[in-house]
Structure 1
Amino acid sequence: MKQLAKFLGPVATAVISGGLLALCYPDYNLTGFVWVWMLPLLPMLWRGNKKRYGFSVGYLTGLVFWLINLKWIWTVSGLGAMAIAAFLALYFGIWGAIAVSIGNPWRRTVKKEPDQSDQQLSSIQKKIKDRQQVKKHGLLGGALGDSGMSLKFALINAAAWVALEWMRGWLFTGFGWNGLGVTFHNTPVLAQAADLVGVTGLSFLPVFMSAVIVQTASRLKSEAATGKLKPRLDFSIAALLLALQFCYGVWRIKQVNGWETDRVRVLLVQGNIPQTVKWDPRSVNDILQTYADTTQQAIEALESDNLKLLQANVDGESVELKRPDLVVWPESALPTPLYFADNFDGYILFGETRHLINEEIRPLGNFTLISGMNEFESDFDGERATYKEGGEQYNSIATVAPEGELEHSINTYRKIHLVIFGEYIPLVDQLPVLAELFKFSAGADFSGNFDAGTSTEPLVVPVRDSQVQLIPTVCFEDTVGRLTRQFVRNQPQMIINVTNDGWFKKSEAAAQHMANAKFRSIELRRPMIRAANTGVSGIISSTGSAVDPVNGNRQVIEDESGSHFVKSSLYGYAYAPTRGP
């Protein structure tokens, strides 16, 4: 019976802790659990003494967490979801091995008999012995006693966690999704320190505080039995760190919202087209017309509002009309590709897409159209472009200027950070069976590997009498902080993201994507405009909020029930700092 309890205890603890952590993220958003999920886990780890034990408990905790947190991947591939969860749980396992060894304040050591001679030492001898303790345990352990040792082990556990999260963000192309810091996406005051330490650095404090609380509770229990309670300096320091993070957030939000900015008027269009339709070549014209019609209806509604504004302006004062500077369509909104060729200086666009842009979209107003598109290298004979066998192909963002010949009015950004097994499959040419596995999982043929772009130059778009730079991101690139930082310039800038989360249907994937993306705006102090085909389309401020800092309006496409899975549009404002911070 004891053996069964010895086995079930760690298993139950891992399941509970992993489940509590999963509840911190969308769609649950029970953020408060980030401060408590480790409280049962740490004592269970610290009671052990072997790294194998720590790894096993940590790994099971991570496996439970990732299976719940990434269950949306099951909509594409159940096998893929299990494989990814099994891999990502390794980071939890490694942390568990660290926590049970060098991060373990309760680790079993050889006990020594108490030194009775301490009471007979002179004051000078005691000072000498204290200095020896500092050398042995470090400043924290020697000079601050039990509290110092508590802080030392809390620091080890928290630093190890942050280091492993950082490694997860770049190893094997990286998957920095849903670190502990992301749980603060709906708690703006605690999220602002991301501009100092990044979203990964925000993961430090929850682990640090949990380690301090567990050690403090253990010592209080022992001291209560003897009736000798001592001051808890370690707990006070942990609480002070939390207070400092809170105060910094309050101050930073007020400061950032007071910056001088260029206001950019944005119209976002969300088609909400099912993935099954997007893969059907017979639906090309219907998809194009959906975006054209939704855009036209939105602009007609804005012009109706403008007319009411003018009619109500009996005093003849200046009135700002609602007319977008940018109209943004999501990733793959235009299902026909852009062609480029060595013998042509520009982009080649044929058929319905060319007609739609020139005849239906451009006449609607003086705005820049931005859309996700594929770029294909082609053979061009002066009249006709055909796909070049073995040529380059890119997943791109295209900007279309409001005037000029279409072929020479387009500028593009080519996606740099490709999604493995989504946009490219390693060794697929050598192992064709991988393409068959893709078809089995995704329900569509593998169209070939995309090439990775190389340019980190921002896109430049006109905004009335000036210009604004765009930091471009496609799909999950807005979750990759090390990539977006490469585009930062000391100019008015915004981040733009076009995405299609329709692969994962009406799951929490889109909400989790939005939660992770918010931290790019905080880290870089640039607003973000997001256009999703199926997902969360909206405007994020430089403080990571979806609320307009000037008029207080919520700037997210959603229906009355709060669902993001709708065909709709949003007119709103992004505020680009006039000088990059």
Structure 2
Amino acid sequence: MKKNILLSIFSGLMLWLAWPPTPYTTVFLFIGFVPMLLMMENIINSNSAKKGKLIFNSTFIGFFIWNTLCVYWVYNSLKTIGPIVAIPVTLIPYSLGPLLMSTACWLYYRLRLKTNRTIGLIGLVCFWIGYEYLHQSWDLNFPWMTLGNGFATMHQWVQWYEYTGVYGGTIWVWAINILVFLMYISIREAQTAKYKQRLVIAFTLTLVIPFSISLSRYYDYVEEPNPSNVIVAQPNIDPYLKGGEIPVFKQIATLTKLSDSLAQPNTEFFIWPETAISDLIDEEHISSNGYYQQVRRFLDKYKNGNVLTGGETYKLYDKQINQTASPVPGGGYWDRYSSAINIENLDRVQFYHKSRLVPGAESLPFSDALSFLKPVFAHLGGATGTYTLQTEPGVFYAQSGIGVAPVICYESLWGDWIARSVGQGAQFIAIITNDGWWENTSGKDQHLDYAKLRAIETRRWVARSANTGISAFINQRGDVVQQSKWWVRTALKQNINLNSNITFYVAHGDYLPKLGSILAVLGILSLLVRSFFRKKVVA
């Protein structure tokens, strides 16, 4: 038992070492699950009672270590949301993910009992992909630890994400780990030389072919010239002071000064961070809003310019015209949004409302069942349960016809969502965020690294504006061309190449996890049916 626990811990530590933002240790992804697989094999072949429970508990230890060491920084955001909200927020990355991972391993054990090792391992990959897809799709979403994200620091290895998205990386990691595990087991079980040779060949091809394709694509890829001048501003305003201690008009003045410092007459986009305008703005009457007018005055010097900025917006109603509207004290209803706003030298203003919210901090999971908790969060002064989502991805179009995909903070983890914006005409991606909540931890670095994968999936430049770092420009190969330092007030300017070509992934989206989830459900149904008939026979 002690040996099995040590194997699980060893897996957790190797996977942590492999994870972004640490470069050059990514290779541990290819062997990180091997001790875990050996541990499960030991339990399956042992005389222990309650083997399923042992596998679940033992794998949970390793997965908990891996997840907690990688996303320890979540704790730093707790002081903004209060202790009542903080507890469930921390449970999501620290415990819920490992629980789902361990469930996938337990299902592998159950399938292994009914079939054989080969089918069981194929099922394990499907169960894992099913867990990852669930964890990006349901109300408790947290796809931060999707295995394919692990290649973010070595993006040269996964240029084929333009065909598969990050789930291709998940399958690659599991395929290599399983082959290494089988090679070890073949020695321990004294398998035939022919069987061992086949495993070595399979391992070599599975490792080398994706590497070769990716490196060839990386070095051969050439962007089509189609330049657009873009500026990202990083005002470096303490996120804990943005809400009131620093007036919003002063924050906008800082942003306009930074933008002016690098602007050219032909600059087409000024990108400001998620929390640039922290006071609430009525969308229906934005033209009379003082902050909007301040931005328009800045744009007078740049006739083709657009300011893409974050802001808090709302719409008021006399009566509840939809299910999302919440009562307003004193009468009436409103929808409140975390928004991206595109302002230009026209009366037209374009809005996009954040659609992927942080569970607990920005959204109330399973709100229909837990709607009675909304007054509690409102009393605490938090935004939980009050934001209204946009159900479809959006594209902002400039006067010149340039399309940009607005992506707000947490949304940059959803490759499929961004790909849908690109499919609707976005020629580059603008990520606006405020990573200062996590302070100077690896969280901000991981968030930047993941943006590289979005560039590869869509073959679009990424312009990233972060309030307190890290702001950056990322090219279509996923290279960080420019980036700011942490906690530095600055602006960056770049001529980016717009792209209108559609990748296979943009055209087909998350087809791999959908297929894997279907196979996982079929596997679970098969187990339930077998269990039902076995009980019936025994009875």
TM-score (norm: length of structure 2): 0.80
Give the counterpart of 2:483 among 549, 552, 556: 556
Take 1:266 and 1:579, find their aligned partners in 2: how far apart are those partners?
A: 20
Take 1:181 and 1:216, find their aligned partners in 2: how far apart are those partners?
A: 24
Shift of 1:231: 4.5
- Higher relative contact order, structure no. (Cα contacts within 8 Å, ≥ 6 residues apart): 2
After superposition, where does 1:182-193 map in structure 2 within 5 Å? Answer: 182-193=149-160
Take 1:457 and 1:340, find their aligned partners in 2: how far apart are those partners?
A: 17
1:467 aligns with 401
Shift of 1:360: 3.6
Shift of 1:195: 2.1
Shift of 1:374: 1.7
Gapped regions of structure 2 (runs ≥ 5): 45-50, 79-85, 319-328, 504-539
Identity rate of aligned residues, in percent? 19
Shift of 1:250: 2.5
SS across alignment from 1:253? helix
Q: CA RMSD in A?
A: 3.1
The letter of the residue matching 1:39 is V
Shift of 1:176: 1.5
After superposition, where does 1:444-455 map in structure 2 within 5 Å? Answer: 445-446=382-383, 449-455=386-392
SS across alignment from 1:451? coil
The letter of the residue matching 1:375 is T
User: How has the CA–CA distance of structure 1 residues 209 and 468 changed in structure 2, closer, same or farther, with 3 Å as cutoff?
Assistant: same
SS across alignment from 1:324? coil
2:411 aligns with 477
Give the counterpart of 2:29 among 29, 34, 40: 34
Measured against aligned partners, the alpha-carbon deviations of 1:237-273 in whole angstroms (never above 9, x if no partner) come to 1220221111221233345x33534222111101121
User: How has the CA–CA distance of structure 1 residues 191 and 230 changed in structure 2, closer, same or farther, with 3 Å as cutoff?
Assistant: closer
Please say if 1:166 is aligned against 2:160: no
Number of equivalenced pairs = 475
User: How has the CA–CA distance of structure 1 residues 388 and 290 changed in structure 2, closer, same or farther, with 3 Å as cutoff?
Assistant: farther
| Structure with the greater alpha carbon radius of gyration | 1
1:430 aligns with 372
After superposition, where does 1:335-414 map in structure 2 within 5 Å? Answer: 335-341=278-284, 347-351=286-290, 353-363=291-301, 366-378=304-316, 389-401=332-344, 403-404=345-346, 408-414=347-353
Take 2:88 and 2:316, find their aligned partners in 1: how far apart are those partners?
A: 34
2:83 aligns with none
SS across alignment from 1:555? strand
Take 1:294 and 1:282, find their aligned partners in 2: how far apart are those partners?
A: 17
Measured against aligned partners, the alpha-carbon deviations of 1:52-79 in whole angstroms (never above 9, x if no partner) come to 2211112222211222122111112363
Structure with the higher helix share, 1 or 2: 2
Q: Structure 1 residues 78-87 or 265-274, which shifts more?
A: 78-87
SS across alignment from 1:565? coil
SS across alignment from 1:363? coil
Take 2:424 and 2:134, find their aligned partners in 1: how far apart are those partners?
A: 29
SS across alignment from 1:566? coil
After superposition, where does 1:301-340 map in structure 2 within 5 Å? Answer: 323-340=266-283
1:207 aligns with 174
The letter of the residue matching 2:373 is L
Shift of 1:323: 4.4
Please say if 1:98 is aligned against 2:107: yes
Q: Structure 1 residues 324-333 or 411-420, which shifts more?
A: 411-420
Take 1:446 and 1:274, find their aligned partners in 2: how far apart are those partners?
A: 19
Take 1:90 and 1:289, find their aligned partners in 2: how far apart are those partners?
A: 47
The letter of the residue matching 1:32 is V
1:44 aligns with 39
1:456 aligns with 393
Gapped regions of structure 1 (runs ≥ 5): 1-5, 110-135, 138-148, 304-321, 381-385, 547-553, 559-563
After superposition, where does 1:482-561 map in structure 2 within 5 Å? Answer: 482-489=416-423, 491=425, 493-546=427-480, 554-558=481-485
Measured against aligned partners, the alpha-carbon deviations of 1:170-211 in whole angstroms (never above 9, x if no partner) come to 133532112221111122332222222220221112222222
Shift of 1:159: 3.3
1:237 aligns with 202
Take 1:491 and 1:376, find their aligned partners in 2: how far apart are those partners?
A: 26
Shift of 1:487: 2.1
